[in-house]
Structure 1
Amino acid sequence: MVSKKKKKYSSGEGAQFMTRKAALKKLQLSLKDFRRICILKGIYPREPRNRKRAQQGAGGIKTLYHTKDIKFLLHEPIIWKLRDLKVYQQKIRKARAMRQYGQMRKFLRDYPEINIDHIVKERYPTFVDALRDLDDCLTLCFLFSTFPSLKRVPRDQSMLCRRLTVEFMHAVIAAKALRKVFVSVKGYYYQAEIEGQTITWIVPHHFSFQPQSKDEVDFKIMSTFVEFYTMMLGFVNFKLYHSLNLVYPPKLTAAFSSSSEKDLIDERAYVAERIAAMNMSLARVEGSNEAEELPEIDIFNTEDEDPQKLEDAKLEAEKVKKLKTMFKGLKFFINREVPREPLVFLIRCFGGEVSWDRNMFVGATFDESDESINYQIVDRPSMDKQFLSRYYIQPQWVFDSVNARILLPINKYLIGAVLPPHLSPFVDKTKDQVYIPPEQRALNDPEFKPQNDEASDEDIAEASDEDKEGMENNSDEEGAEEALTRQYQEEVAEESSSEEEVDGDDQNLEKKTMAKEKKKAMAVTAGVTHKEHPYQKEIEDKQAFRLREKLVRKKHRNLYKSMKAGQEARKKEIWLLRKKRRLHDEKVKEDKKSEKRKQKIQALEAAMA
């Protein structure tokens, strides 16, 4: 029996991938609906190994999807909802054209809504899975919470993002889960630890909104992502509040009293404003207490018992325990020129009390005249009226104290003081190559003193971009090599000097030694230790390393190349950061010199006058 010939592209990469045009034809969807369903279901284009086979011999570069992903979408119930939406849109258009406005209002009232609860449960079967994917969700929701009403961003969506993000911040405050914070040009970077998962997100600065054209930003796609993320964040908030024994939706502990607020009509608006202020604790479930503290670290016997790791873990746990109550018992007052929300969030996370001017925002708990205030946060050069019972500090003190996990001395953060550099706490300690600025080194090692070698600075400044290799040789590795070469040269010089002394000895001494050597020619002599030169050993080690590199197996060679490329990229990044810092320091020196020149000229002019 003759076997049937196998059709081309019926197996392998030709059958595994499908173009976007073929996917649209199979699903019977428009491009707009296809993009929406892919975002909601988490399906994205793939890159094949062999593009020509995946495209079944077609040229060019096309958007490809896995065939199994497209078949997976065939059974999605939302596709039928999208088709129902199309039918209703067609009916509404027809009623508007026929001027049947009563019928059109009826269609708008019965317009079907898409529910994506089942998609969230399908993509995140457990709570930990949702926490692992919460970074992008929080960043985008915080961004949309600052948007006004736009053409492609519904007002309801931005208000929902605002409500959900405030609820999440309250949960972080109640759990005392915040660990790091950093202020940058993009916004405020926060890092929290919830259920053992590290979550990092960005909150933008509250500036006036600048509208963007459609060509620069596609708000429709971003809005589709937010549609899914709001549903996901709602699930996460619900689970967080119940794990912390808090009532959800959040409620205030103090009951609403209409007598105290006569002009207030809407109780929900009153509660929502006070919750957004983040200055009051939320109501807990009846009969429940605060969340219990985590127990001490249990020590288990493992294969690689490293006492240093256990000590580091214990030390880290002790630092986190102190960090949670760092501001406990302290009262802060925020001036009107200081950004309120990030500072309230930080101070409340670590057990402090905070308030502000009642005319600035609702939710203030005490006035500026309160004598029990410990710190007043000010961002202006001077203040006319000051209280002797409190410290007047700049906002950076709060951020730096959180990152240092101790209350820093306030002498560098007083009103009008030149602030120290705000160092980023997001440093990956697992990397083998990390740039550490001089200020961070000084904090880690109090005995560290930055070297200011004028000659080397001038030589470095004169070096061009083409001399990149020469600049890289100024690293710590080259410093070690120079020390080894210096030691090698000193040892060679010592040997040569000893040889000259032997040559200058008396001839009789040489004869005696020759006679002794002849007598002891047949005797057993004690061995002399050979002292290795470390510089020569370094060269041999490098040569042996290159030989070991050649012995890497073929299947591991690409992985090894990528590792080396990563090391080179980190080396280049460190070099660029050092160059940027060097240029900054040179500019500061020039500014100081020019300022001194101006002062001297002014002094001379005053003396001559």
Structure 2
Amino acid sequence: MRRPKKYEAGEATQYISRRAALRKLQLSLNDFRRLCILKGVYPREPKHRRRAQKGSSEIKILYHTKDIRFLLHEPIVWTLRDYKIFAKKSGRDRAIKDFRNLKRRLALFPEIKLDHIVKERYPTFIDALKDLDDCLTLLFLFSTFPSLHLIPREQSNLCRRLTIEFLHYVIASKSLRKVFISIKGYYFQAEIKGQKVTWIVPHYYPFKPQSRQEVDFKVMSIFVEFYTIMLGFTNYRLYHGLNLAYPPQFPSSMLQDNEETLKDETSFVSERIAALNFELLRTDKVQEDEEEPDIDMELLEQDGDSKRIIKMKQEAQEIARLRNLFKGLKFFINREVPREPLVIIIRSFGGKVSWDSSVFSGSTYDESDETITHQIVDRPSLSTQYISRDYIQPQWVFDCVNQRQLLPTNKYFLGEELPPHLSPFVDAKRDTYVPPEEKALHDPSLIETHAQSDDESDEEEAAQNEDDTVDQELLDAQLQRAYQQETAEYKKYGGPDGVNEDEEDTDDDFDGEQESDEEEEELDEKTKRLQEEKKKMSVQSGKVHKVNKRQLHKAEVDEHRLQARMVKPRHRNLFRKLIREKQSKEKEEWLLRKKRRNIDNDTKEAKKLVKREAKKAAAAAAAAASQLGVK
């Protein structure tokens, strides 16, 4: 039997370098990168790099050999080769100025079809929904881009249309569940067919050109090319599930790109938002206001797990209330407020929204409408206000959705300092630092400000001191009453009135002294008993137990060393990784606590400074008034 040579089996044959893959597929580096992105083939990290690279010590980009063999049978490879042939022939025609033949070749330009790749990567519809997060985030980003060298206007327009179609489905199905404002943009989470889909809508800023070293738009545009096909399939399936006509029919003036809209970026964005404020055409005759039938949970009571059924009922009822959170409310958005996220949120929960028609298109009613219930303003004051509506800041809408109820509007009035905007995407039962505002949401008894807690602590101390004084007075009164009773008994039974003690017999004196000694002992016992009861009832100040931090730290270090000694050698790397993660979490928690402590100290100092200035102003006003009175 022939002895196998070195690197002919095992890990050396499982991996292939990128250069060898290019030779095997006969493609350029750009075409190979495009093909790998479309097919979902990525570089791999071997366990033993030296074995995988057949003894070479340099760092190479490695792929699985099976993945490259899988790409050999891809039809797109032939289309990419046709691109190369087309480029050579069209360049030749351009060089010899054969424009007639060049025009014929341009009409036969080879196009890549990605439908079969979408079906390969996502065999079921649920698989496509699970991978929809990155797709939506990237398409929403590209929908805001202007026409660039590597991003044609047709691609950004397609992204804009597909994202608007998806948002219309979210509004029509009322599947939005969570929202959050971040420095990156607006986070949205919808529940579609039982799957949670999360995406980011970026803030609207004028586009700033980026250098090629910072952002590779060419690679991103390849992802967009695949994701547009995928989202088109998904939208088609979602619309037909709701009996909506696809593609959706918008008004003739909406989403029509002409020279004016392409030049003016604000009108380009305003048309996109205006399209979200229109209802879609349905293929059936179901009324728009008709609610979905409730889930019949009584059919599930045959299961033995009744707690699970009760929990499902509660969740279904809570979601049913959330879907109609803003039903019957009419909102008006001022011109300084970002409209797109608010239109998505308000319409997804059954509300109606409009804005100033003289500034933006797509408004449905004017500001003077008396049926408006809430007006969203992001400025400290307004010149004209209506009594029949609430003037609130935009954060109220987001907080109502996250807490799944209509919150009081007094904390969100114009010019008010807003409460903290908490993220709904974190786990409430996590082991890391939890801010006090988030704790107050889960425990209503903790809802209080720092000033109120300080005032209440002062009041509690004063009330405790009063209780101590009252207890002291009662004990003193009891002692005084007992002493008076003992003295009265002594006078009653000690001797006859009017008899001089010096004239009594010695026997009488001896008996009297014994009786007086016994009475004094009884009195002393009663006083001792009362004093002991008084000590038990009294409140004693607690003693501060000083903790030796060095000893605690030393004990922790010793315990950690004992744990490290007990770990087996093959598990040491895993143990070190766990310890590093634990230390990083502790450091993050410590930094957050320190940051919150500094913020609280700054707010206390600011309040104290305001009080001092107010006292100084009051003293100055009193002094000025006294001077005027003297004059």
* TM-score, length-scaled by structure 2: 0.73
CA distance in 1, matches of 2:110, 2:389: 59
1:577 and 2:576 aligned: no
Give the corresponding residue for 2:368: 369
Comparing 557-566 with 33-42, which one deviates more in the overlay?
557-566
The structural deviation recorded for 1:602 is: 6.6
2: CA distance between counterparts of 1:547 and 1:213? 53
User: Are the equivalent residues in 2 in contact too, given 1:334–1:355 (CA < 8 A)?
Assistant: yes
Q: Is the 8 A contact 2:14 2:64 kept in 1?
A: yes
Change beyond 3 A, Cα 1:101–1:581: farther
1:163 maps to: 161
Separation in 2, partners of 1:354, 1:37? 45
Contact 1:433–1:567 under 8 Å retained in 2: no
Q: How far, CA to CA, are the matches of 2:360 and 2:609 in structure 1?
A: 45
Give the corresponding residue for 2:402: 403
- In the alignment, the residues of structure 2 paired with residue 239 and residue 384 of structure 1 have an alpha-carbon distance, to the nearest angstrom, of 49
Give the equivalent residue in structure 2 for 1:351. Answer: 350
CA–CA distance in 1 between the matches of 2:598 and 2:163?
40
> CA distance change for structure 1 residues 42 and 274 in 2, over 3 Å: closer, same or farther?
closer
Higher mean C-alpha displacement, 161-170 vs 595-604: 595-604
1:200 counterpart = 2:198: yes
Q: Distance in 2 between matches of 1:251 and 1:44?
A: 40
Counterpart amino acid of residue 292 in structure 1 = E
Work out the CA distance in 2 between the residues paired with 1:228 and 1:300: 45
Alignment-derived partner of residue 235 in structure 1 = 233
C-alpha displacement of 1:158: 0.7
Structure 1 residue 569: deviation in Å? 3.7
Separation of aligned partners in 2, 1:36 and 1:578:
47
Change (3 A) 1:240 1:64: same
CA distance in 1, matches of 2:449, 2:281: 56
1:533-548 alignment runs, 5 A limit: none
Q: Give distance in 2, aligned partners of 1:67 and 1:50.
A: 16
What does the per-residue CA deviation read over 1:46-81, in whole Å, with 9 as the maximum and x for residues that have no partner?
Answer: 111111111111112111100000000000000100
Q: Which of 65-74 and 352-361 deviates more?
A: 352-361
What are the Cα deviations for residues 174-230 of structure 1, in whole angstroms up to 9, with x where unaligned? 111110000011100111110110111111001111110001100000000111111
The offset of 1:387, in angstroms, is 1.3
- Find the residue that maps to 1:447 and give its secondary structure: helix
SS at match of 2:201: strand
Report the TM-score, using the length of structure 1 for normalisation: 0.76
CA gap of 1:93–1:256, structure 2 versus 1, over 3 A, is closer
- Cα deviations by residue, 1:363-416 (Å, 9 ceiling, x for unpaired): 211111111111111111111111111111111100000001000000000111
Q: 1:578: Cα distance to partner?
A: 1.9
Q: What do residues 435-494 of structure 1 show as CA deviations (whole Å, max 9, x unaligned)?
A: 3211111122122278979xxxxxxxxxxxxxxxxxxxxxxxxxxxxxxxxxxxxxxxxx
Q: Distance in 2 between matches of 1:235 and 1:100?
A: 41
- Is the contact between residue 438 and residue 450 of structure 1 (CA under 8 Å) also seen in structure 2? no
| Candidates 142, 149, 152, aligned match of 1:151 | 149
Amino acid at match of 2:338: P
- Greater mean deviation of Cα atoms: 280-289 or 57-66: 280-289
| Alpha-carbon shift at residue 555 of structure 1 (Å) | 8.1
Listed as ranges, the gaps of 5+ residues in structure 1 are 258-268, 454-539
Q: Secondary structure at the match of 2:446?
A: coil
Measured after TM superposition, the shift of residue 115 of structure 1 is 0.8
Any idea what SS the aligned residue of 1:380 has?
coil
Does the 8 A contact of 1:433 with 1:571 survive in 2? no
Which of 216, 219, 242 lines up with 1:218 in the alignment? 216
Counterpart residue number, 1:189: 187
Contact 2:411–2:418 (CA under 8 A) maintained in structure 1: yes
In the alignment, which residue of structure 2 is the partner of 1:413?
412
After superposition, the Cα gap between the structure-2 partners of 1:105 and 1:547, relative to the gap in structure 1 and judged at 3 Å, is same
Report the secondary structure of 1:387's partner residue. coil
Cα distance change, pair 210–296 in 1 and its aligned pair in 2 (3 A) = farther
Q: Which amino acid aligns with 2:595?
A: K
Percentage of matched positions with identical amino acids = 58
Change (3 A) 1:114 1:554: same
Give the distance between the partners of 2:301 and 2:558, measured in 1 at CA.
42
In 2: Cα distance, 1:555 partner to 1:239 partner = 51
- Aligned residue number for residue 249 of structure 1: 247
Aligned length: 504
Q: Deviations over 1:469-524 (max 9, x none)?
A: xxxxxxxxxxxxxxxxxxxxxxxxxxxxxxxxxxxxxxxxxxxxxxxxxxxxxxxx
- The 8 Å contact of residues 301 and 309 in structure 2, kept in 1 or not, is answered as no
Deviation at 1:434, TM superposition (A): 3.4
CA contact (8 A) 2:15 2:63 kept: yes
Aligned to 2:330: 331
Quickly say closer, same or farther: Cα 1:284–1:585, change in 2 above 3 A. Answer: same
Matched-pair contact (CA < 8 Å) for 2:274–2:363: no
Shift of the 96–595 alpha-carbon distance from structure 1 to 2, 3 Å rule, reads farther
Question: How do residues 66-215 of structure 1 correspond to structure 2 at under 5 angstroms?
Answer: 66-215=64-213
Q: CA deviation at 1:172?
A: 0.6
Which structure's CA Rg is the greater one?
A: 2
**Mapping of 1:501-540 within 5 angstroms?**
none
Aligned-partner SS, 2:370? coil
Could you tell me which of 590, 594, 604 is aligned with 1:589?
Answer: 604
* Aligned partner of 1:51 among 42, 49, 52: 49
Question: Is the contact made by 2:243 and 2:283 (CA closer than 8 Å) also made in structure 1?
Answer: yes
CA distance in 2, matches of 1:570, 1:318: 37
The residue aligned with 1:394 is 393
Q: Deviations over 1:302-336 (max 9, x none)?
A: 89x583x5544433332211100000111111111
SS at match of 2:445: coil
Label 1:325 to 1:90 Cα distance change in 2 as closer, same or farther (>3 A): same
Output the CA distance in 2 between the equivalents of 1:168 and 1:26: 41
Tell me the SS of whatever aligns to 2:284.
coil
Tell me how large the CA RMSD over aligned residues is: 3.3
More helix, by proportion: 2
AA aligned to 1:579 is K
Tell me which amino acid in the other structure corresponds to 1:142: F
What is the alpha-carbon distance in structure 2 between the residues aligned to residue 603 and residue 220 of structure 1?
67
Q: Which residue is 2:508 aligned to?
A: none
TM-superposition CA deviations, 1:255-293 (whole Å, max 9, x none): 879xxxxxxxxxxx99x9588531121011134566834
Q: Are the structure 2 counterparts of residues 170 and 405 from structure 1 closer, same or farther at C-alpha, using a change threshold of 3 Å? A: same
